[in-house]
């Protein structure tokens, strides 16, 4: 048996836990199950920055938010180091698993939203979740 890829693992988790996810969230899992790589997260910083601050002309640390947005958009490709330098911290460029608090995994999966905030899971937490599902399924076979 060949090892599962991250996307294969996500597909299994979605198939096995889809009904539970729908019941908990009230929405179809296709609307929120999303794989995000570290680079995708970094590439999306200008868009997320604009959503957060595009409506304001306020400033932060001597820069207007619009100026920082222009600097972020001008960096192609945008790197974590450059984004952190422009923004002044790493909060916009760092991925963090909601399950184990691992910082900057290669990829995460958005599995749900709680109080308007996405729930991110790393590969290890997805494997653990699959183990729980497998254990439960195994206990029902007897």
Q: What is the pTM of this model?
A: 0.68
Give the pLDDT score at 86.
94
Percent of the chain with pLDDT over 70: 72
Report which of residues 32 and 12 the model is more confident about: 32
Give helix 45-53 / helix 65-74 axis angle, nearest 10°.
160
Handedness of CA 55, 57, 60, 61 (dihedral sign): positive
Segment 49-67, tens digit of pLDDT: 998 887 776 766 667 888 8
Segment 97-108, tens digit of pLDDT: 999 999 989 999
Cis-peptide into 77, omega within 30 deg: yes
């Amino acid at each position: 048996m060949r090892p599962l890829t991250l996307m294969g693992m996500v597909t299994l988790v979605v198939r096995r836990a889809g009904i539970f996810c729908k019941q908990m969230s009230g929405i179809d899992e296709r609307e929120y199950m999303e794989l995000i790589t570290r680079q995708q997260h970094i590439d999306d910083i200008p868009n997320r920055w604009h959503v957060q601050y595009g409506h304001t002309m306020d400033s932060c640390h001597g820069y207007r938010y619009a100026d920082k947005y222009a600097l972020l958009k001008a960096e192609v490709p945008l790197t974590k180091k450059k984004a952190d330098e422009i923004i002044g911290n790493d909060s916009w460029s760092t991925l963090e698993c909601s399950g184990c608090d691992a910082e900057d995994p290669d990829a995460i999966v958005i599995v749900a939203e709680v109080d308007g905030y996405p729930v991110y899971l790393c590969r290890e937490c997805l494997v653990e979740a699959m183990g729980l599902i497998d254990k439960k399924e195994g206990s029902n076979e007897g």
